[in-house]
Structure 1
Amino acid sequence: MNKTKSLSEYKRRKRIIDGIGTAIVWLFVIAALFPIAWMILTSFMTQSDIATGRIGIPNHWKNYVDMWKNVDFFNYFKNSVIVCGITTVVALGIATFAGYAVARFKFPGSGIFGAAVLATQMVPGIMFLLPLYLMFIKIQDTLGIQIINTYAGLILVYSAFYIPFSIWILRGFFAGIPKELEEAAIIDGCSGFEAFLKVILPIARIGLIATGIYIFLMAWDELLFAWVLTTSSDVATIPVGIRLYVGNYQNRYDLLMAAGCVTTLPPLMIFFGLQKQFISGMTAGAVKA
């Protein structure tokens, strides 16, 4: 009887603890989703409704039309797609070969190379801002190569920032692939490079997808360096364009919220479309590393 009573008491306590834990998790979820829901709701309200605090049925679609007409938002969107897309390709390509080399080959300093790569992520990016800007100005004055206010400048900076951590992620994937697979491919007549292309890369595709998503999302949201390294709207990205909204258009929060909603769509679609690959890729890479 005592054992049965103890078991039922244990189950009751477990249900209470589980219920409290679930409630706490839901509170955090609601707190995280509330700003997004408020942004979407506000994007369909008029400027007067926002100023007076009136909340009604969100049916003001004109904000999205005005956003594209009154502000060159398409130009910012195009610039972000170009910069982030090329950055993803460049950084992922370099990180793929570098991660494979670190995982497979032994060379002087290879033991500490991985830790050194990861250590670069410990330094706050803002510390690079002024030296990088001055260096670009010096190159431009000395060699006549324009880097500031160009696609190439942003792509160069973003690639340099995201390659180290991408190497660390992919290193874990390549280290977890048995060498015997490459050796078998070489015995079958493949060269070392062909074995890498035809055997290793298909196996590591989940890691490549996860790393590519990471690079794209980080570049898409970056504001600080894009704000400093772009001096005109010709190459300004979406974060810079939204930042310009604040003072240039009478603080039109309705248009600002509409722009925010449009800005979140591409990364949202990419993440949910490749959600399984991203989560499993990041998890597997962390375990193998």
Structure 2
Amino acid sequence: MKRKTSQRLLNLLVWAIVALTLSPVAFMVYASLSDYNDVVTGNLVNASFTPHWSNYREMWVNVDFLAFLRNSLVICGFTTLFSTILAALAAYSLARFRFRGNHPFSVAVSTTQVIPGMLFFLPLYMLYIQIDDAGIPMMNTYHGMIFLYTAMFTPASIWIMRGFFVTIPRELEEAAIIDGCSRLGAFVRIVLPISAPGIIATASFVFLLAWDEVFFAWVLTSSTDVQTVPVGLRLYMGQHATRYDLMMAAAVVSVIPVLVTFFASQRWFIKGLAAGAVKG
């Protein structure tokens, strides 16, 4: 009896946490369908509520939000691709090869994640200006943002992938090498297919981080041809009025690619987390 009671209390606690976590999302969706005056005055709870679907139509007219979605997909997509490839090669080297500085380098990679990115802003900004002056445009360019995001998110990807590669038995690669595969061939034909859940989980992690990043995207870009979704959401904040209803509608739309990415890779994401947690 006590066990059933405790199980019910635990279930209630879990549902309470889930409800608390989803409440901001529910408010965002509700506000996106509310009238502007109701959102501004805070009068969102009323019996005569009628969904204002026109907010979703007007948000595209008020701001060219499609351009920001395109920019985010391009920048985050290439960042995910490059970061995953570089992290896979580096993580495999750290997991399989023993060389001088292996452990210090692994520690240094993980240490970079505890340093706030804000500390890199000033030297990075000056570096980008100097490269621009040298004739290689980095500000307000796709490749400038992709290079930055790849450098920012690759260290975490290396640390995560290393845990996946360590769990793969060395005997599988040794058997492939005995059968005539090179080290690279064994990595491509044996290690990568087995570690696919971990690679997909890491790629999803990088994509979500890049999609949500706003500070560097806001400072290093000033053109709508390059600016990403988080920066585009700020354009609904005008000098004299802030269209919170349109901002909430745009926020709902911007969440859709994230949800699609997560649900499409959910099975692999869970497998990857479970595999990476077995052995470090």
User: Fold match, TM over 0.5?
Assistant: yes
Report whether the alignment pairs 1:93 with 2:103. Answer: no
Identity %, equivalent residues:
48
Which stretch of structure 1 is more off in the superposition, 265-274 or 185-194? 185-194
Match of 1:196 among 174, 182, 187: 187
Residue 23 of structure 2 corresponds to 34
Note the C-alpha offset of 1:58. Answer: 4.4
Residue 39 of structure 2 corresponds to 50
Report whether the alignment pairs 1:287 with 2:278. Answer: yes
Checking the alignment, whether the CA contact within 8 Å between 1:238 and 1:263 is kept in structure 2 is yes
Note the C-alpha offset of 1:248. Answer: 5.8
Amino acid at match of 2:7: D
Amino acid at match of 2:170: K
Cα distance 1:104–1:58, how it changes in 2: closer, same or farther (>3 A)?
farther
Cα distance 1:88–1:249, how it changes in 2: closer, same or farther (>3 A)?
farther
Note the C-alpha offset of 1:151. Answer: 0.9
Note the C-alpha offset of 1:15. Answer: 3.3
2:238 match: secondary structure: helix
Checking the alignment, whether the CA contact within 8 Å between 2:96 and 2:166 is kept in structure 1 is yes
Runs of 5+ unmatched residues, structure 1:
1-10
Checking the alignment, whether the CA contact within 8 Å between 1:41 and 1:58 is kept in structure 2 is no
Report whether the alignment pairs 1:265 with 2:256. Answer: yes
Checking the alignment, whether the CA contact within 8 Å between 1:169 and 1:286 is kept in structure 2 is no
Amino acid at match of 2:148: V
Residue 52 of structure 2 corresponds to 60
- Match runs of 1:7-26 below 5 Å: 11-12=1-2, 14-26=3-15
Note the C-alpha offset of 1:174. Answer: 1.1
Looking at structure 1, the residues matched to 239 and 168 of structure 2 have their Cα atoms a distance apart, in angstroms, of 53
Looking at structure 2, the residues matched to 57 and 96 of structure 1 have their Cα atoms a distance apart, in angstroms, of 51
- Match runs of 1:68-107 below 5 Å: 68-107=60-99
Residue 182 of structure 1 corresponds to 173
Checking the alignment, whether the CA contact within 8 Å between 2:167 and 2:275 is kept in structure 1 is no
CA deviations 1:145-199 (Å, max 9, x no partner) are: 1111111111111111111111111111111111111121122222221111111
Looking at structure 1, the residues matched to 117 and 153 of structure 2 have their Cα atoms a distance apart, in angstroms, of 11
- Match runs of 1:129-148 below 5 Å: 129-141=121-133, 143-148=134-139
Note the C-alpha offset of 1:249. Answer: 8.0
2:116 match: secondary structure: coil
Structure (1 or 2) with the larger CA radius of gyration: 1
Checking the alignment, whether the CA contact within 8 Å between 1:40 and 1:257 is kept in structure 2 is yes
Checking the alignment, whether the CA contact within 8 Å between 2:197 and 2:269 is kept in structure 1 is yes
Looking at structure 1, the residues matched to 240 and 162 of structure 2 have their Cα atoms a distance apart, in angstroms, of 47
Which stretch of structure 1 is more off in the superposition, 57-66 or 175-184? 57-66
Looking at structure 2, the residues matched to 103 and 235 of structure 1 have their Cα atoms a distance apart, in angstroms, of 37
Which stretch of structure 1 is more off in the superposition, 181-190 or 126-135? 181-190
TM-score by length of 2: 0.94
Aligned residues: 277
Looking at structure 2, the residues matched to 248 and 72 of structure 1 have their Cα atoms a distance apart, in angstroms, of 18
Checking the alignment, whether the CA contact within 8 Å between 2:141 and 2:226 is kept in structure 1 is yes
CA deviations 1:103-136 (Å, max 9, x no partner) are: 1111110122211110010101111112211121
Checking the alignment, whether the CA contact within 8 Å between 1:186 and 1:195 is kept in structure 2 is yes
Amino acid at match of 1:35: P
Amino acid at match of 1:202: P
Checking the alignment, whether the CA contact within 8 Å between 2:68 and 2:229 is kept in structure 1 is yes
Looking at structure 2, the residues matched to 93 and 176 of structure 1 have their Cα atoms a distance apart, in angstroms, of 19
Note the C-alpha offset of 1:57. Answer: 4.1
Higher helix share: 1
Looking at structure 2, the residues matched to 98 and 137 of structure 1 have their Cα atoms a distance apart, in angstroms, of 29
Residue 151 of structure 1 corresponds to 142
